[in-house]
Protein backbone atom coordinates (compact mmCIF):
# COMPACT_ATOMS: atom_id res chain seq x y z
CA UNK A 1 0.00 0.00 0.00
CA UNK A 2 1.45 3.35 -0.95
CA UNK A 3 1.55 6.23 1.50
CA UNK A 4 0.77 9.58 -0.07
CA UNK A 5 3.07 12.48 0.63
CA UNK A 6 2.37 15.80 -1.04
CA UNK A 7 4.67 16.12 -4.03
CA UNK A 8 5.89 12.56 -3.69
CA UNK A 9 4.26 9.17 -3.26
CA UNK A 10 6.27 6.49 -1.50
CA UNK A 11 5.99 3.39 -3.64
CA UNK A 12 4.73 5.38 -6.66
CA UNK A 13 6.41 6.48 -9.91
CA UNK A 14 9.17 8.93 -9.13
CA UNK A 15 10.13 7.05 -5.95
CA UNK A 16 13.90 6.61 -6.13
CA UNK A 17 13.98 4.05 -3.30
CA UNK A 18 11.55 1.82 -5.21
CA UNK A 19 13.79 2.06 -8.28
CA UNK A 20 16.80 0.95 -6.23
CA UNK A 21 14.90 -1.98 -4.74
CA UNK A 22 13.72 -3.07 -8.18
CA UNK A 23 17.36 -3.18 -9.30
CA UNK A 24 18.47 -4.81 -6.03
CA UNK A 25 20.57 -1.84 -5.01
CA UNK A 26 20.77 -0.70 -1.38
CA UNK A 27 18.46 2.19 -0.61
CA UNK A 28 17.77 4.33 2.46
CA UNK A 29 16.56 1.32 4.43
CA UNK A 30 20.15 0.01 4.46
CA UNK A 31 22.44 1.97 6.73
CA UNK A 32 25.92 2.77 5.33
CA UNK A 33 28.52 0.27 6.51
CA UNK A 34 31.41 0.87 8.87
CA UNK A 35 34.70 -0.99 9.02
CA UNK A 36 34.65 -4.46 10.62
CA UNK A 37 37.60 -6.00 12.43
CA UNK A 38 38.65 -9.67 12.32
CA UNK A 39 36.52 -10.53 15.31
CA UNK A 40 33.50 -9.29 13.42
CA UNK A 41 32.81 -6.25 15.61
CA UNK A 42 32.59 -2.73 14.27
CA UNK A 43 35.76 -0.67 14.52
CA UNK A 44 34.67 2.82 15.56
CA UNK A 45 38.17 4.14 16.29
CA UNK A 46 38.51 5.78 12.88
CA UNK A 47 34.84 6.60 12.33
CA UNK A 48 34.49 10.34 11.75
CA UNK A 49 31.93 12.41 13.60
CA UNK A 50 31.05 15.99 12.80
CA UNK A 51 30.04 18.91 15.03
CA UNK A 52 28.69 21.72 15.16
CA UNK A 53 26.04 23.08 12.77
CA UNK A 54 23.77 26.11 13.15
CA UNK A 55 20.96 27.45 10.97
CA UNK A 56 19.39 30.87 11.52
CA UNK A 57 16.90 32.83 9.52
CA UNK A 58 17.66 36.29 8.20
CA UNK A 59 15.76 38.81 6.13
CA UNK A 60 15.52 36.98 2.82
CA UNK A 61 16.30 33.38 3.69
CA UNK A 62 18.31 31.04 5.91
CA UNK A 63 21.99 31.13 6.86
CA UNK A 64 23.83 27.88 7.65
CA UNK A 65 27.12 27.86 9.54
CA UNK A 66 29.31 24.89 10.51
CA UNK A 67 32.72 24.34 12.00
CA UNK A 68 35.05 22.20 9.89
CA UNK A 69 36.21 19.70 12.54
CA UNK A 70 35.63 15.95 12.34
CA UNK A 71 36.56 13.87 15.38
CA UNK A 72 37.11 10.17 16.08
CA UNK A 73 37.34 8.05 19.20
CA UNK A 74 35.79 10.77 21.33
CA UNK A 75 37.42 14.17 20.91
CA UNK A 76 40.52 13.22 18.88
CA UNK A 77 40.74 15.52 15.87
CA UNK A 78 40.62 13.46 12.68
CA UNK A 79 40.19 16.21 10.07
CA UNK A 80 39.85 20.00 10.12
CA UNK A 81 38.32 20.68 6.71
CA UNK A 82 35.13 18.63 6.74
CA UNK A 83 32.16 19.96 4.77
CA UNK A 84 29.04 19.68 6.89
CA UNK A 85 26.72 21.91 4.85
CA UNK A 86 25.71 20.38 1.55
CA UNK A 87 23.31 21.30 -1.24
CA UNK A 88 20.42 18.90 -1.85
CA UNK A 89 18.94 20.97 -4.68
CA UNK A 90 18.58 24.60 -5.76
CA UNK A 91 16.36 25.49 -2.81
CA UNK A 92 17.41 23.06 -0.07
CA UNK A 93 20.45 22.77 2.19
CA UNK A 94 21.33 20.04 4.68
CA UNK A 95 23.69 20.58 7.61
CA UNK A 96 24.92 17.39 9.27
CA UNK A 97 26.19 16.45 12.73
CA UNK A 98 27.12 12.98 13.89
CA UNK A 99 28.38 9.99 11.90
CA UNK A 100 30.01 11.48 8.82
CA UNK A 101 29.91 8.25 6.80
CA UNK A 102 26.19 7.77 7.32
CA UNK A 103 25.45 11.43 6.69
CA UNK A 104 27.36 11.58 3.40
CA UNK A 105 25.67 8.40 2.14
CA UNK A 106 22.30 9.89 3.09
CA UNK A 107 23.09 13.13 1.28
CA UNK A 108 24.06 11.27 -1.89
CA UNK A 109 20.83 9.30 -1.78
CA UNK A 110 18.71 12.42 -1.22
CA UNK A 111 20.42 14.32 -4.04
CA UNK A 112 19.69 11.48 -6.46
CA UNK A 113 16.15 11.00 -5.13
CA UNK A 114 15.25 14.65 -5.67
CA UNK A 115 16.84 14.67 -9.13
CA UNK A 116 15.17 11.41 -10.16
CA UNK A 117 11.75 12.70 -9.09
CA UNK A 118 12.21 15.96 -11.01
CA UNK A 119 13.31 14.19 -14.19
CA UNK A 120 10.74 11.41 -14.10
CA UNK A 121 7.77 13.55 -13.04
CA UNK A 122 8.79 16.73 -14.94
CA UNK A 123 8.37 18.80 -11.81
CA UNK A 124 10.25 19.46 -8.60
CA UNK A 125 9.42 17.40 -5.55
CA UNK A 126 7.45 19.47 -3.05
CA UNK A 127 9.06 20.59 0.20
CA UNK A 128 6.80 18.18 2.09
CA UNK A 129 8.01 15.34 -0.12
CA UNK A 130 11.66 16.23 0.45
CA UNK A 131 11.18 16.34 4.21
CA UNK A 132 9.48 12.93 4.11
CA UNK A 133 12.47 11.48 2.22
CA UNK A 134 14.80 12.73 4.96
CA UNK A 135 12.60 11.00 7.57
CA UNK A 136 12.77 7.77 5.58
CA UNK A 137 16.57 7.92 5.44
CA UNK A 138 16.79 8.43 9.20
CA UNK A 139 14.47 5.50 9.84
CA UNK A 140 16.79 3.40 7.67
CA UNK A 141 19.74 4.14 9.97
CA UNK A 142 17.79 3.28 13.13
CA UNK A 143 19.05 -0.34 13.44
CA UNK A 144 22.67 0.82 13.61
CA UNK A 145 21.77 3.63 16.01
CA UNK A 146 20.10 1.15 18.37
CA UNK A 147 23.33 -0.88 18.32
CA UNK A 148 25.28 2.23 19.26
CA UNK A 149 27.17 2.42 15.97
CA UNK A 150 26.65 5.74 14.32
CA UNK A 151 23.67 7.93 13.70
CA UNK A 152 23.47 11.51 12.52
CA UNK A 153 21.17 14.49 12.94
CA UNK A 154 20.39 16.78 10.00
CA UNK A 155 19.21 20.37 9.85
CA UNK A 156 17.21 21.10 6.70
CA UNK A 157 17.02 24.67 5.44
CA UNK A 158 14.78 25.49 2.50
CA UNK A 159 13.33 28.46 0.72
CA UNK A 160 9.58 27.92 0.47
CA UNK A 161 8.32 29.78 -2.60
CA UNK A 162 4.69 29.37 -1.55
CA UNK A 163 5.35 31.19 1.69
CA UNK A 164 8.10 33.39 0.18
CA UNK A 165 10.24 32.67 3.23
CA UNK A 166 13.10 30.56 4.51
CA UNK A 167 12.24 27.60 6.74
CA UNK A 168 14.29 25.41 9.09
CA UNK A 169 13.55 21.82 10.12
CA UNK A 170 15.26 19.44 12.54
CA UNK A 171 14.80 15.74 13.26
CA UNK A 172 15.25 13.19 15.99
CA UNK A 173 17.07 9.89 15.43
CA UNK A 174 13.82 8.08 14.56
CA UNK A 175 12.95 10.51 11.77
CA UNK A 176 10.38 12.66 13.56
CA UNK A 177 10.37 16.14 12.04
CA UNK A 178 10.01 19.51 13.75
CA UNK A 179 9.99 23.05 12.39
CA UNK A 180 11.79 25.82 14.22
CA UNK A 181 10.70 29.39 13.64
CA UNK A 182 13.99 31.26 14.05
CA UNK A 183 17.04 28.99 14.47
CA UNK A 184 18.23 25.42 14.81
CA UNK A 185 21.45 23.76 15.96
CA UNK A 186 22.82 20.23 16.13
CA UNK A 187 25.98 18.54 17.36
CA UNK A 188 27.78 18.47 20.71
CA UNK A 189 28.64 22.17 20.58
CA UNK A 190 25.02 23.05 19.91
CA UNK A 191 24.02 21.81 23.36
CA UNK A 192 26.16 24.55 24.90
CA UNK A 193 24.71 27.47 22.94
CA UNK A 194 20.97 26.90 22.52
CA UNK A 195 20.25 29.12 25.51
CA UNK A 196 22.53 31.81 24.10
CA UNK A 197 20.67 31.73 20.79
CA UNK A 198 17.36 32.19 22.59
CA UNK A 199 18.80 35.03 24.65
CA UNK A 200 20.15 36.78 21.55
CA UNK A 201 16.74 36.57 19.88
CA UNK A 202 15.04 38.15 22.90
CA UNK A 203 17.71 40.82 23.24
CA UNK A 204 18.09 41.81 19.58
CA UNK A 205 14.81 40.75 18.02
CA UNK A 206 13.88 37.88 15.68
CA UNK A 207 16.60 36.51 13.42
CA UNK A 208 14.28 36.70 10.41
CA UNK A 209 14.34 40.50 10.69
CA UNK A 210 18.15 40.70 10.73
CA UNK A 211 20.31 41.52 7.72
CA UNK A 212 22.59 38.75 6.47
CA UNK A 213 25.65 40.57 7.84
CA UNK A 214 24.18 40.88 11.32
CA UNK A 215 22.92 37.28 11.38
CA UNK A 216 26.35 36.08 10.21
CA UNK A 217 28.19 38.08 12.87
CA UNK A 218 25.92 36.76 15.62
CA UNK A 219 26.17 33.17 14.42
CA UNK A 220 29.97 33.30 14.15
CA UNK A 221 30.04 34.51 17.75
CA UNK A 222 27.89 31.58 18.88
CA UNK A 223 30.08 29.10 17.01
CA UNK A 224 33.21 30.46 18.66
CA UNK A 225 31.54 30.26 22.09
CA UNK A 226 30.60 26.64 21.34
CA UNK A 227 34.23 25.92 20.40
CA UNK A 228 35.44 27.28 23.74
CA UNK A 229 32.98 25.06 25.62
CA UNK A 230 33.25 21.90 23.50
CA UNK A 231 36.58 20.33 22.49
CA UNK A 232 34.98 18.57 19.50
CA UNK A 233 33.98 21.89 17.92
CA UNK A 234 36.44 23.84 15.80
CA UNK A 235 36.35 27.62 16.19
CA UNK A 236 37.37 30.54 14.02
CA UNK A 237 41.03 30.81 14.95
CA UNK A 238 42.59 27.98 12.94
CA UNK A 239 40.24 27.10 10.06
CA UNK A 240 37.39 29.30 8.92
CA UNK A 241 33.93 27.74 9.21
CA UNK A 242 31.73 26.96 6.24
CA UNK A 243 28.73 29.21 5.59
CA UNK A 244 25.98 28.98 2.99
CA UNK A 245 22.66 30.72 2.40
CA UNK A 246 19.43 29.67 0.73
CA UNK A 247 17.15 32.42 -0.60
CA UNK A 248 14.70 33.01 -3.45
CA UNK A 249 17.77 33.22 -5.71
CA UNK A 250 18.94 29.76 -4.67
CA UNK A 251 21.90 28.42 -2.70
CA UNK A 252 25.04 30.54 -2.33
CA UNK A 253 28.35 30.37 -0.48
CA UNK A 254 29.34 33.08 1.97
CA UNK A 255 32.75 34.17 0.73
CA UNK A 256 35.97 33.57 2.64
CA UNK A 257 36.64 37.31 2.41
CA UNK A 258 33.35 38.05 4.20
CA UNK A 259 34.16 35.53 6.94
CA UNK A 260 37.67 36.91 7.38
CA UNK A 261 36.34 40.47 7.64
CA UNK A 262 34.36 39.41 10.73
CA UNK A 263 36.85 36.92 12.18
CA UNK A 264 39.02 39.27 14.24
CA UNK A 265 36.09 41.14 15.76
CA UNK A 266 34.43 37.91 16.86
CA UNK A 267 37.64 36.49 18.34
CA UNK A 268 38.23 39.74 20.23
CA UNK A 269 34.66 39.67 21.57
CA UNK A 270 35.29 36.22 23.03
CA UNK A 271 38.67 37.13 24.52
CA UNK A 272 40.80 35.54 21.81
CA UNK A 273 43.04 36.84 19.03
CA UNK A 274 43.34 35.50 15.48
Spatial distance between the Cα atoms of 197 and 99, rounded to a whole number of angstroms: 25
23 by Cβ neighbours in 10 Å (0-12 / 13-18 / 19+) ranks as exposed
In whole angstroms, give the CA distance from residue 228 to residue 230. 6
Pairing of strands 165-171, 152-160: antiparallel
Distance of CA 186 to the CA centre of its chain: 8
* Run of H or E including 239: none
Examine the residue annotation and report whether 270 is marked as an active-site residue of this protein.
Answer: no
Phi-psi region of 61 (alpha: psi -120 to 50; beta: other; left: phi over 0): left
In whole angstroms, give the CA distance from residue 131 to residue 61.
Answer: 18
**CA neighbor of 180 nearest in space, from 54, 36, 7:** 54
Q: Is 248 helix (H, G, I), strand (E, B) or coil?
A: coil
Q: Name the maximum alpha-carbon separation found in the chain.
A: 60
**Backbone φ and ψ of 35, nearest 5°:** -65, 145
51, 52, 71, 92: which one is catalytic? 51
| Active-site residue list | 51
Amino acid sequence: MSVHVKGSQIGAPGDFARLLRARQIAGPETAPGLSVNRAGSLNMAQAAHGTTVIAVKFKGGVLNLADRRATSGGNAILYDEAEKILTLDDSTLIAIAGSYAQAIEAVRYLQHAFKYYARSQLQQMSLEGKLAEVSRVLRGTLPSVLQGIGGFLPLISAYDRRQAAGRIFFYDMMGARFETHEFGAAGSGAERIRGALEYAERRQGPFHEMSLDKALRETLLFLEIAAQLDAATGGLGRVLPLAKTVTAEGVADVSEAKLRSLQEGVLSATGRSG
